[in-house]
Amino acid sequence: MATTIRAAEPVATIRGPLRADRRTKDLVKRLKPGDVALIHHSDLDAMAARALLECRVAAVVNAVHSVSGRYPNGGPSVLIDAGVPILDAVGDEFFELASRREGRPAEIEGETITVGKGLDARGEWVTRESLHRQLEASKCNLSEELDHFARNTLKYLAEEKSILLDPVDVPELDTPIRGRHVMVVVRGEGYKEDLRYIGIGDYLHAARPVLIGVDGGADALLEYNLRPDIIIGDMDSVSDRALKCGAELIVHAYAIGNQESPGLNRIQALGLKSKLFPSVGTSEDIAMILADQLGASLIVAVGTHFSLEEFLDKGRGGMASTFLVRLRIGSKLVDAKGLGRLMSQMNRPKPRDFAPVFIAFLITTGIILVNSPMLRNILNTIRLFWRSTFGH
């Protein structure tokens, strides 16, 4: 039985089955509540941290530092604020050896993690104080990181300017898009809140947009009982269930060399049909290009990457293609990012909102009491007692 500690700094021994993977997004597919998650994730991003949190792990053990100091990444704060302990820097050698013992009991006592018999490593706990110091120090490096980011962006802009200037040869689809709204869903920061508010509003019912899930974005749609019309991406983070839901499948082929498409083998192994879309840029970029090229009247983006921190989290130099695609689409693009947070603030009741209700309650109660025969009898009894006692 795993002991789940809900404190940033553990005060007891933590036990649970070990699950390990270099790719955090692959690991979360196998994690179960109470597991000890062994990751190899420098600059742990907020999206990966939330995925670990949703798995209700007992602890997160990182082979490297969760904050490298390159920039103030948000992942560790997500876990620490939720009370999930993080043991950092247990080392590459331990990670490689422990990965071969997946599923075996792990025990964390003090700053030492032990897996099975004879395999242990010492790390360092990430506390609120140490995390604060690390993030403050990393802010000092942000200027240098931004300069590096800008240089990479200029380099990729030169290589990927065809996205903005040249016509794009998109595959022919069975799903009609021309003149319709298209909603592109990426499983990125804040996607759940935004999807929830879009889903409970009138937009989906009124506009009936074409739903495009970018890789794991297809699973995000299914979470809200929305079936994607199209799934596009390199197919590395989408579930078999989503791929088999009946959506039209488009595999992102990288426009280099022989147009490598690593996701095609998986689609073929499942016995499904798909179409190739060779293009530079990310899968979310080409999803928007596809919608634009096929005549969408409006493109609503949910969970897509936009902020500097998200670009740095993504780890691709400059993310120039994202800039170029947004320039190309222009006013046709509506970004839903933050919609959930905005609506939750607007819908949050304030103390003054209860005043009319409270006043109405007092008035109604007063009317009922005044017209109550029982109340009149009680008042008459008190009046007679007063007169008989005090003579007034």
The answer to whether residues 21 and 62 touch, using CB atoms and an 8 Å cutoff, is: no
Of the given ranges (38-47, 198-207, 218-227), which has the lowest mean pLDDT?
A: 198-207
Q: Is 333 exposed, middle or buried (0-12, 13-18, 19+ CB in 10 A)?
A: buried
Residue with the bigger pLDDT between 12 and 61: it is 61
Of the chain, the percentage scoring pLDDT greater than 70 comes to 74
In the β-sheet with 230-233, what is the strand arrangement from edge to edge?
275-279, 248-254, 230-233, 210-214, 181-186, 298-302, 333-335
DSSP category for residue 125? E
Query: pLDDT: is 93 or 199 the higher one?
Result: 93
Helix axes 283-293, 320-329, angle to 10 degrees: 20
Least confident range from 3-12, 243-252, 378-387: namely 3-12
Distance separating alpha carbons of residues 386 and 392, to the nearest angstrom: 7
pLDDT band at 178 (very low <50, low <70, confident <90, very high): very high
Long-range contacts of 94-101 (CB under 8 A, 24+ apart): 94/63, 94/119, 94/120, 94/121, 95/20, 95/38, 95/40, 95/63, 98/18, 98/20, 98/38, 99/20, 99/21, 99/38, 101/18
**Per-residue pLDDT tens over the stretch 274-330:** 998 888 778 888 899 999 999 999 999 898 866 666 666 565 555 667 777 887 888
Q: In the structure encoding, which two tokens stand for residue 370, read together? A: 């005044």
- Tokens 């802010």 belong to residue: 139
Q: Which two tokens stand for residue 78?
A: 């997500």
H helix intervals, the chain: 24-27, 46-54, 75-81, 92-99, 128-140, 142-160, 162-165, 191-200, 203-207, 217-223, 240-243, 264-269, 283-293, 308-314, 320-329, 339-347, 355-370, 373-390
Return the pLDDT at 374.
Answer: 60
pLDDT at 2: 42
| CA 99 distance to own-chain centroid | 26
Confidence of residue 4 (pLDDT cuts 50, 70, 90): very low
Is a pLDDT exceeding 50 seen at residue 194? yes
Instruction: List, for residues 248-280, the tens digit of each pLDDT value.
Output: 999 998 765 445 677 888 898 899 999 988 887
Q: What integer pLDDT is reported at residue 53 of this predicted model?
A: 94
139 or 352, greater pLDDT: 139
Task: Give the model's pLDDT for residue 152.
Answer: 72
C-alpha span between 221 and 213 (Å, rounded): 7
Distance CA 216, CA 141 (A): 32
- pLDDT, residue 391, reads 61
Residue 354: helix, strand or coil by DSSP?
helix
**243 vs 361: which has the higher pLDDT:** 243
**Residue 372 neighbours by CB distance under 10 Å:** 12
47 has a pLDDT exceeding 50: yes
Average pLDDT, the chain: 82
pLDDT beyond 70 at 197: yes
The distance in angstroms from the start CA to the end CA of the chain is 76
State the Cα–Cα distance between residues 184 and 329, nearest whole angstrom: 13
Taking residues 328-337, what's their average pLDDT?
Answer: 82
The structure's pTM equals 0.68
**Among the listed ranges 116-125, 343-352, 366-375, which one has the minimum average pLDDT value?**
343-352
